[in-house]
Amino acid sequence: MPKRSFFKARDAARALAFAVHEAADDLVARRSPGLRNQLLRAAASAPANIAEGEQQSSNAQALHFLRIALGSTDEVGAHLDTAADAGALSPRRHTAC
């Protein structure tokens, strides 16, 4: 796979992780115990898996890690939706991510 594709994907995942870290500071923890930690872990997982996929020797192995990263971004979205639905995250922060 072209290295440029990995750079773009990793940059996008890092931007998401940064936005999530900022949003997590606003989470009302008492309304969603444990959700903040799960959200941060999923957000950090995406760029890490992209970086790991970049180092694989075959396209099949690289795609495996990219699929895991995509799953992590889906998990972030689900956690953000849950936090917003629970009133633990403001609509402004939810939209920003």
**Gap between the terminal Cα atoms of the chain:** 28
Name the pLDDT band for 29 (thresholds 50, 70, 90): low
**pTM of this structure:** 0.85
Interacting residues of 63 by C-beta distance below 8 A, sequence separation 6+: 1, 53
pLDDT reading at 16 higher than 80: yes
Query: Does residue 91 register a pLDDT over 90?
Result: no
Q: Tell me the domains of the chain and their CATH numbers.
A: 3-96 (1.20.1440.60)
**Nearest-angstrom CA–CA distance, 67 and 6:** 13
Task: Please determine, for residue 32, whether its predicted confidence score (pLDDT) is greater than 90.
Answer: no
Contact by Cβ (8 Å): 13, 75: no
